[in-house]
Structure formats: C-alpha cells, structure tokens
C-alpha cells in the first residue's frame, strides 16, 4: 500500500472515530451536569425521592416528544401539539364527567376510563389526519399549517370548556398508582405507558417496512417517491401518530393532575422540540431517533431538577437549557472537526 493510500485510509478511520465520539458528546455533558449538581447538592440530588420525580416527570414529555420525532423523521413539523395535548385532556375528562356533553347517562368506571382515553386518542388521530391532509393535499408548509391548526384548537378548547375541568378521583388515582412499589423507587403507571409507547415507536421505525419508508422519505423525498413509496400517505401517517401521542399524553396529564386545562400543553411544545433536536445529535449524528429523544427529555428533566434544588430563580431554566443544548451540539461538531483535521 502506497503512502497516499495509507494516508487516505488513516483519514477515513479518523473520520469514523470522530463521528463515534461526537455521538457521545451530549452524554458527556449530561454526566458533567449530574456531577456538578451532585456535588453542590449531594444531600438532595442523589436521593431516591429526587430521581423518582425526575423519572416520572419524563413520562408524559417523552410520549409527546416521541410522537413528534416521527413527524421530524419525515422532514415535517407539528406546532399544534400543545393544542392537541389540551384538547385530548379536555375530551377525556368531558367524557368521564357525568354531566358531560358526550353522554349524560355515563357513570365513571373502569370501562369508561378506558373509553375516555380512546376518545382522546381518536381526537388526536383526527387532528393529525387534518394536519397531514392540509400539508400533503394543499402543499402548505407544515410549519404554517400546524401553527394555524394550533390556533384553531385554542378556539375549540374554549368552545368545549371555558374553564379548567376537574376529573373524577378514580381516574386520578389510576394514573397516579405506583407499580411495583420498590423501596428505593416508586414508578408510576404512566412511566410504564411511556416505556411501552417508546418501545413500539422505536420498533416501528427500526424494524418495520413502514418505518424504513418513513426514514427514506425524510432522507430524500424525491428518491422515495421515485422508488414507489406513497409519500403523502406516510406523511399523513406520521402526523396521525404524533397527534395520538399528544392527545394521549393530554389525557394522562389530566388524570395525573386531576384537572383538564385548555393551556395544559403549552409547556410541552418547546421542550419537545428541544429534546428531539438534542436527541438528533446523540447516538446517531444528525438523525432523529427515539432513544435520542428520550435522552433529550431526560437531559432537560435533570437540568430542571438541579436548578430547583440549587434554588436558582425561575428565569434560569430556559437560559440553562438553551445553553446546554448549544454546548452539546457545538461539542459534537467541534470534536468531529478536530479529529478530521
């Protein structure tokens, strides 16, 4: 092998090593963050109670961000998820309420709770279907289309309920039940819902024909269409999945807090996008993936927990979260550039 060939091979190997290392740069930032908060507040940060809160708080955010990941994989956006979360919670609670406009004869029970969640999922699927048809049928940019849909949902919320609605205690108790009751950690039932949903989404993307086609559309829509993939159909499917995840999370949020609010989804919007983009530079360079999204959510929740324990003012969470996001992305690019050179 000539000197030139050896140089080329060595450079390629360095590029591979750089990409592998860059994938783990955000993980290194998270470890450093945990060490910092752990040292500063060791008596409170490394406790089962704190990690119980962190893990259980990742559940609903991960469900929302997991659904959004599917839309981002195909190269679209969904800014209506905040409205979908709120509407999903309101729809579920309205159905459970004995004075509900859906059916005044219904009484809360196990079967009605299950059906209430299904109602929320149906609402989310319908919203996703509308978003998908607007984007693919009329050729409207997804950013603009879903922004408009989200505004419409605000009006629908106010039409359905102009105030916060209190859900029944049975629904709240079920959502806040803990299983199993480990002495060091008490995972709530909603955490297991998150695990199941993320596993399903991950398997769909990585192990099914539909998942590979969704990935192909996001990689090159024109090539995907020329290869025979019905691009519009799969883009609509992505919006439906996102809508169902958001509405389902809204129903679980209403059950967990005991209140369905029309503004319940507002705090989730920015966090979901941040988690997805942070996850895109973790484990897989620049590619949206379910595992990375979960990591992004966990990253944010650890950050919020540390800030709260430090007693910092409430303006620090967005500053620190955005700062760590920039540092993580920059670290990945910097490491890769250094190794390439």
- pLDDT tens figures, 191-243: 889 999 999 999 999 899 999 999 999 989 999 999 999 999 999 999 999 99
> Residue 129's pLDDT is what?
97
**Residue 114 structure tokens:** 């299950």
Query: Is 238 inside any structural domain?
Result: yes
Percent of the chain clearing pLDDT 90 (strictly above): 38
Contact between residue 303 and residue 61 where contact means Cβ atoms under 8 Å apart: no
> Residue 183's pLDDT is what?
55
Backbone angles phi, psi at 7, to 5 degrees: -65, -40
Contact between residue 321 and residue 303 where contact means Cβ atoms under 8 Å apart: yes
Query: Is 331 inside any structural domain?
Result: yes
- Distance (Å, whole) CA 5 – CA 176: 62
How confident is the model over 315-336, as pLDDT tens digits?
Answer: 888 887 677 667 666 655 565 5
Q: What is the DSSP letter of 286?
A: T
Query: Is 8 inside any structural domain?
Result: no
Backbone angles phi, psi at 259, to 5 degrees: -140, 135
Find the mean pLDDT for residues 275-295. 87
Query: Is 14 inside any structural domain?
Result: no
- Distance (Å, whole) CA 163 – CA 172: 19
What is the CB-side half-sphere exposure of residue 21 using CA atoms within 13 A?
15
> Residue 277's pLDDT is what?
86
Query: Is 15 inside any structural domain?
Result: no
Number of domains in the chain: 1
Find the mean pLDDT for residues 263-271. 87
> Residue 103's pLDDT is what?
42
> Residue 8's pLDDT is what?
45
Local confidence band at 264 (pLDDT 50, 70, 90 cut-offs): confident
Between residues 251 and 5, the one the model is more confident about: 251
Find the mean pLDDT for residues 232-259. 93
The closest of 245, 216, 244 to 230, measured between CA atoms, is 216
How confident is the model over 138-188, as pLDDT tens digits?
Answer: 989 999 999 999 999 988 877 876 667 777 667 777 777 776 665 556 678
How confident is the model over 88-133, as pLDDT tens digits?
Answer: 998 888 877 644 444 444 444 455 778 888 999 999 999 999 999 9
Contact between residue 85 and residue 254 where contact means Cβ atoms under 8 Å apart: no
Question: What is the CATH number for 307?
Answer: 1.10.3470
> Residue 214's pLDDT is what?
94
What SS3 state is found at 126?
A: helix
Query: Is 4 inside any structural domain?
Result: no
Percent of the chain clearing pLDDT 70 (strictly above): 80
Q: Containing domain of residue 218, as a range?
A: 21-340
Query: Is 334 inside any structural domain?
Result: yes
pTM of the predicted protein model: 0.86
Query: Is 332 inside any structural domain?
Result: yes
């Amino acid at each position: 092998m000539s000197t030139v060939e050896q140089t080329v091979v060595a450079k390629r190997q360095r590029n591979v090593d750089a990409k592998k290392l860059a994938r783990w740069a955000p993980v290194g930032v998270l470890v450093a963050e945990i060490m910092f908060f752990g040292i500063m507040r060791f008596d409170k940060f490394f406790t089962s109670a704190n990690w119980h809160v962190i893990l259980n708080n990742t559940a609903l955010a991960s469900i929302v961000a997991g659904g959004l990941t599917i839309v981002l994989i195909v190269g679209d956006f969904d800014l209506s998820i905040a409205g979908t979360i709120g509407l999903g919670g309101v729809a579920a609670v309205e159905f459970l309420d004995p004075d509900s406009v859906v059916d005044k004869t219904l009484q809360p029970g196990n079967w009605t709770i299950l059906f209430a969640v299904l109602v929320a999922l149906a609402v989310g699927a319908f919203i996703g279907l509308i978003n998908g048809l607007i984007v693919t049928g009329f050729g409207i940019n997804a950013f603009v289309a879903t922004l408009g849909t989200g505004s419409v949902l605000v009006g629908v919320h106010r039409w359905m309920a102009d105030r916060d609605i209190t859900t029944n205690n049975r629904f709240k108790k079920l959502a806040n039940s803990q299983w199993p009751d480990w002495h060091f950690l008490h995972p709530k039932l909603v955490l297991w819902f998150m695990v199941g949903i993320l596993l399903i989404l991950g398997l769909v993307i990585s192990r099914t024909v539909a998942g590979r086609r969704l990935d192909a559309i996001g990689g090159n829509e024109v090539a995907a269409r020329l290869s025979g993939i019905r691009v519009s159909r799969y883009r609509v499917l992505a919006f439906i999945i996102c809508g169902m995840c958001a509405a389902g999370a809204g129903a679980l949020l209403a059950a967990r807090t005991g209140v369905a609010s029309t503004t319940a989804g507002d705090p989730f919007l920015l966090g979901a996008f941040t988690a997805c983009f942070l996850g895109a530079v973790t484990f897989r360079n620049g590619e949206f993936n379910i595992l990375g999204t979960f990591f992004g959510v966990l990253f944010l929740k650890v950050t919020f927990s540390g800030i709260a324990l430090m007693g910092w003012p409430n303006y620090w969470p967005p500053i620190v979260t955005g700062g760590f996001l920039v540092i993580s992305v920059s670290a990945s690019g910097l490491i890769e550039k250094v190794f390439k050179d």
